[in-house]
Every structure is written in structure tokens, then in C-alpha cells.
Amino acid sequence: MNTKPIIALDFPTEERVLTFLQQYNEPLFVKIGMELYMQEGPQIVEKVKALGHDVFLDLKLHDIPNTVKSAMKGLAKLGVDLVNVHAAGGRAMMEGALEGLEAGTPAGQRRAALIAVTQLTSTTEQQMQQEQHINLSLQDSVLHYAKLTHTAGLNGVVCSVHEARAIADVCGEDFLRVTPGIRMLGGDAHDQKRIATPDGAKQDGSTQIVVGRAITGAQDPVAAYHEVLKLWEA
Ligand SMILES: O=c1ccn([C@@H]2O[C@H](COP(=O)(O)O)[C@@H](O)[C@H]2O)c(=O)[nH]1
């Protein structure tokens, strides 16, 4: 799996995406999430792949097992590198997602890695306990979902940097810990609650980092990407 920082392409149109990507003279690892996919559809994935970039399709599927299995079978045909579901959908749903992905991957093509979201990086422990009625620490809830995801046979999880080391200790170093909520030192956290710097993420056991606004909102996005890359690879 590519370990370059994953740039979140949280833009509303194909035009904005292509203008953004034109600034870079190198293959990137990018994330297409709900904002872009809902407005531009599967063609945007094909266009970004055709430019030579690796793609994390971040649609966070969460439904009954049969529906997620069928949806994954369709997404598998897009040839993306990484896809995800919500671990809260349960073990049967995650197993269905994996079956669908395997069934839908064209012969001779590598299956996308499949990961599950544990607790969103925009969630605090207090919110989780009060709104989701989960009577655990946030760390224990994330670890519980990581173990469930591992048992279901998926390749890893989305978590914050703060839980990455504990997950590696329990689920193994090969189990992916993809961590959004990345900010440069002193940067605006926006709606994120569990944040860390790129170098902090490296030290604390992330396998991939997801960076959106710290790069896409920068005055010089190429320089911002290279600053993140330098800290992440140091
Ligand atoms: O727990 C999660 C899961 C996904 N995300 C996504 O990552 C990016 C982060 O963007 P920033 O601008 O760097 O905050 C965004 O696309 C989210 O949908 C997440 O933040 N947390």
C-alpha cells in the first residue's frame, strides 16, 4: 500500500479537482469523498485514476449486509486502491463488504484494500458517550471496533493518531491505521477534535495520513504538500 500522504480532494466540481491536480508534477495518493462523488459520480474516479494517481474512495458505507455487499461489488469495478465502511455496521456487514469487493474485482486486477471507520476524528469522548450511548472511553471504543474489523478480515481501520499505536499492538503492524485529523503545528483544527501533526502521526504509529484543508486551503498547495511529506517521511 502506498504510504504517501493522502490528499483529501474535498471539492464540489471536477473542474476544481483538475485545476488543483494540474499544479503537481508527480503521482499522488488522493481521497475522493462524499462531497465530490455525490456531485460528479463514478466518472471522477476514473478521470483521477487515468491521470496516474492512487485513489482512496472514502464513501464510508453503512447499511444492511446485503446492500453493502452489492454496493461494494459495483465499486470494485472502479479500480480504486482503498475503500471503506463504518465498523458500527457490524461484523456481518463488514464480511459482506469484503465478499462484494472480492466478487466485483475484475480478473487480473488487484483488489482494493478495505478498511473500517472506528470513531470519526471529529468526535470527542463526551459526544460519543452522550450521543451514541457508548459507555466506554473513546480509546476503548476505537480498540473494540478495530478488533471487530480485524476479526471480519478487513485490512485496517480509520482512526485518529492517538489510537494508532494501541491498535498496532493488538491487531498487528500490518493492519492499516489510516489517520485523518492532520494539522501543521498551530494550524486551525476546523471541525476536527482528535488532531496531530504529520511527524506526530509517524511517531505514534499511523500507516497513512489523510490531509485535506492544510494542503487544499494553503496559499501554495504544492509547497504545503511537500512540507507535510517532509515531516511525514523524516
Ligand atoms: O474519521 C474521519 C474519517 C474521514 N475523514 C475525512 O478526512 C478528511 C479530512 O479533511 P481535513 O480537511 O484534513 O480535516 C475529510 O475528507 C473527512 O471526510 C475525517 O476527517 N475523519
CATH number of domain containing 20 = 3.20.20.70
The residue from 47, 49, 63, 193 that is catalytic is: 63
pLDDT value of residue 12: 98
Its pTM surpasses 0.90? yes
Phi, psi of 198 (to 5 degrees): -60, -40
Is residue 123 domain-resident? yes
Distance 107 CA to ligand 1 centre (A): 32
Q: Whose CA is nearest to atom 2 of ligand 1?
A: 120
Q: 42-50 vs 14-21: helix axis angle to the nearest 10?
A: 20
Is residue 152 domain-resident? yes
Inter-residue contact 180 to 5 (CB < 8 Å): no
pLDDT value of residue 207: 98
- Could you tell me the residue range of the domain that residue 38 belongs to? 6-233
Exposed, middle or buried by CB within 10 Å (0-12, 13-18, 19+), for 40?
buried
Percentages helix, strand, coil for the chain, rounded to the nearest 5?
A: 45, 15, 35
Integer Cα distance of 198 and 181 in angstroms: 10
pLDDT in tens, 15-41: 999 999 999 999 999 999 999 999 999
Is 60 noted as a catalytic residue in this protein? yes
Q: Within 76-207, where are the H helices?
A: 91-104, 125-131, 138-151, 161-171, 198-203
* Number of independent structural domains in the chain: 1
Is residue 1 domain-resident? no
pLDDT in tens, 2-18: 999 999 999 999 999 99
Distance 194 CA to ligand 1 centre (A): 11
Q: Whose CA is nearest to atom 3 of ligand 1?
A: 120
Is residue 151 domain-resident? yes
